[in-house]
Amino acid sequence: MSEEKFDRRSQYWFGLKDKGGYIHRERLRNQGYAPDVFDGRPVIGIANTWSELNPCNGSLNDVAEAVKRGVWEAGGFPLEFPAMSLSESLQRPTTMLYRNMLAMEVEELIRSHPLDGVVLLGNCDKTPPGLLMGAASVDLPTLMITGGPMLNGRYQGQPVGSGTLVWKYSEQVRSGKISFEEFMAMESCSARSQGSCMTMGTASTMACVTEALGVQLPGAAAIPAVDSRKFTLAHLSGRRIVKMVEEDLKLSKVLNRKAFENAIKILAAIGGSTNAVVHLLAIAGRVGVPLNLDDFDKLGKDVPVIANMMPSGKFLMEEFFDAGGVPTVMKEIANLIHTDHITVTGKTVKENIEGAENWNKEVITPANKPFQAAGAGIVVVRGSLAPDGAIIKVSAASPKLLTHKGKALVFNEIEEYLKVADDPNLPVTPETILVLKNSGPKGYPGFPEVGNLPMPKKMLDQGVTDMVRISDARMSGTAYGTVVLHVSPESTAGGPLAFVENGDEIELDVPNRKLNLLISPEELAKRKAAWVPPKPKAERGWSKMYIEHVQQAHLGADLDFLVGSSGDYVPRHSH
Ligand code: FES
């Protein structure tokens, strides 16, 4: 058995002068590679989440080919491999049930193969965070490319933003404002090309946030999926990852506390998705960077929302790209972020954004004339209803409901609510607070995006378009409304949400960060003592393991045994 020592990780496979080395090289040579590809050059894995079941990631095979061009050109050896694809639009009950599975899969794939560096190709909501979590637990030099948004949707000359306008128009169909035929006509106009949702939903948010973390090349996030510049960027990323291996620029050198602080500030500046909160907490947990829910409030509160983007504003990702994208946002708030942070370019943020310009100040507003004032981003509320916190996206809420007291109308499951949402006799008024239980990480299971309960038809008929809604669920990044999410601990885990009853008064006070269930401590204790936890929804397989090990929302909803890193050790060889 060979005991040779190598400088490069892949040489522990390809550099061996024994039977094992023979087998590792020999079988790859059936692909026709020249023998010198095994000579110690950087071997670059390309983790590709392309799938026909995930239309948002449909362009990634072409991206992978462009990356390979760059890797070959820079003297590396690219090897593409498939990783689980998570399709927000098709997968049930929710892709969030599988984000940690993708993270676990990609971690093991990277570690168990002869790789020196990795390029991660993701796009739809959960693929970028899942890939990054897994890669962070290995910690090779790593670069991400998000596939990019679809071209803007248009219907009768008007923009149709994916997700966002589906919520609006589906409520208009229910209230009879538009016909079902019109609704169907919009469907064919809202997905004009390959790519992810072109609003500032979760996919676009995570693309911007990963660029702000410093793990994508500058400008990458906003390039539309079908734009030739996306493939140019992939080509350049291929060249760059080879250099990153040579410089030993590991992921942990980029993903430090400064990176997360920058990401949180950019999240606030773009009015990004609430889902970024759980993903950033989970990624930080993998690299051991201390980060908690309150950091989002503390770091985001002085940052103005400067991206006028749906769902909070009016523009779509094509305009955001044309205006300058993330480098322009970073430049506009340069005095609020760490510009000395080192990114995958090997350069600082300051150097990366030097040439950025703001080409459209209506889309990316100047920081001193912001689209929305500081404090309109994601806010953390706490109190007797959410001892470990809950979040609300202020920019997507109705200002008048941010301080509100109302009586609870409680539903144990989203399905229970949907059955009666159109009932004209539903006991609701505009002041009612809709409360949804059993929709957190353990509860559903999988922490689905059902927190923005559709408005009751009775309210829509009265012209009421928003109400306070509170749950332990998540909400689509494309959705809007006065929606309190991620209540922690969740009801299924015995959080106070479990004990709310119809008619209880609830106080939401966003300016003072409060969320209280206004019943006496004695009454709360009595209900708690009588509470019977719901039966777990799965008795076998992944779902059972997930329910038993998933952490609460305020910790990032990772599996408890996946938090942290095992590093890039070379597993023992079997040949
Ligand atoms: Fe995939 Fe929105 S459904 S990005």
Residue nearest to atom 2 of ligand 1 (CA): 197
In angstroms, the CA 402 to CA 418 distance is 25
Please report whether residue 456 resides in a domain.
yes
Select from 54, 56, 98 the residue to mutate for testing ligand 1; criterion: most ligand atoms less than 8 Å from CB.
Answer: 56
Residue 125 Cα to ligand 1 midpoint, Å, equals 6
Closest by CA to 148, choosing from 75, 74, 66, is 66
Residue with tokens 């390309």: 46
Closest by CA to 78, choosing from 113, 132, 115, is 115
Q: What element of type H or E holds 498?
A: none
- Considering the domain architecture, whether residues 386 and 515 belong to the same structural domain is answered as yes
Please report whether residue 239 resides in a domain.
yes
The pLDDT of residue 477: 83
Q: What element of type H or E holds 497?
A: none
pTM (predicted TM-score): 0.96
Q: Is the CB of 197 under 6 A from ligand 1?
A: yes
- Considering the domain architecture, whether residues 285 and 182 belong to the same structural domain is answered as no
- Considering the domain architecture, whether residues 448 and 383 belong to the same structural domain is answered as yes
Closest by CA to 471, choosing from 503, 506, 511, 509, is 506
The pLDDT of residue 450: 95
Q: Is the CB of 477 under 6 A from ligand 1?
A: no
Measured from the CA of 123, which atom of ligand 1 is nearest? 4
Q: Which residues contact 439 (CB under 8 A, 6 or more apart)?
A: 413, 414, 447, 448, 450, 451, 471, 472, 473, 490
Amino acid type, 199: T
What are the strands, taking DSSP E only, across 345-474? 378-383, 386-393, 403-411, 433-436, 469-471
Q: Is the CB of 449 under 6 A from ligand 1?
A: no
Residue 274 Cα to ligand 1 midpoint, Å, equals 15
Residue 453 Cα to ligand 1 midpoint, Å, equals 19
- Considering the domain architecture, whether residues 279 and 423 belong to the same structural domain is answered as no
The pLDDT of residue 295: 97
Q: Are 279 and 210 in contact (CB under 8 A)?
A: no
Closest by CA to 448, choosing from 439, 459, 436, 460, is 439
- Considering the domain architecture, whether residues 146 and 170 belong to the same structural domain is answered as no
- All residue ranges of the chain with pLDDT < 70 are 1-2
How many domains in the chain? Answer: 3
Last residue of a domain, one of 137, 172, 189: 189
Q: Are 412 and 531 in contact (CB under 8 A)?
A: no
Domain of residue 111, CATH code: 3.40.50.2300
- Considering the domain architecture, whether residues 133 and 183 belong to the same structural domain is answered as no
Q: What element of type H or E holds 276?
A: helix 275-287
Residue 355 Cα to ligand 1 midpoint, Å, equals 31
- Considering the domain architecture, whether residues 269 and 173 belong to the same structural domain is answered as no
- Considering the domain architecture, whether residues 103 and 238 belong to the same structural domain is answered as yes
Residue 52 Cα to ligand 1 midpoint, Å, equals 14
Q: Which domain holds residue 60?
A: 41-150+197-294
Q: Is the CB of 504 under 6 A from ligand 1?
A: no
Select from 94, 125, 194 the residue to mutate for testing ligand 1; criterion: most ligand atoms less than 8 Å from CB.
Answer: 125
- Considering the domain architecture, whether residues 245 and 110 belong to the same structural domain is answered as yes
Residue 221 Cα to ligand 1 midpoint, Å, equals 14
Measured from the CA of 87, which atom of ligand 1 is nearest? 1
Residue 464 Cα to ligand 1 midpoint, Å, equals 28
Residue 90 Cα to ligand 1 midpoint, Å, equals 10
What are the strands, taking DSSP E only, across 384-477? 386-393, 403-411, 433-436, 469-471
In angstroms, the CA 87 to CA 439 distance is 20
Please report whether residue 4 resides in a domain.
no
Residue 203 Cα to ligand 1 midpoint, Å, equals 6
Q: Is the CB of 196 under 6 A from ligand 1?
A: yes
Q: Is the CB of 496 under 6 A from ligand 1?
A: no
Residue 196 Cα to ligand 1 midpoint, Å, equals 5
Q: How far is CA 193 from the centre of its chain?
A: 21
Residue 209 Cα to ligand 1 midpoint, Å, equals 16
Q: Is the CB of 201 under 6 A from ligand 1?
A: yes
The pLDDT of residue 2: 56
Largest CA distance in the chain: 79
- Considering the domain architecture, whether residues 262 and 209 belong to the same structural domain is answered as yes
Q: Are 388 and 520 in contact (CB under 8 A)?
A: no
Amino acid type, 81: F
Measured from the CA of 204, which atom of ligand 1 is nearest? 4
Please report whether residue 15 resides in a domain.
no
Measured from the CA of 57, which atom of ligand 1 is nearest? 1
In angstroms, the CA 570 to CA 548 distance is 30
Please report whether residue 20 resides in a domain.
no
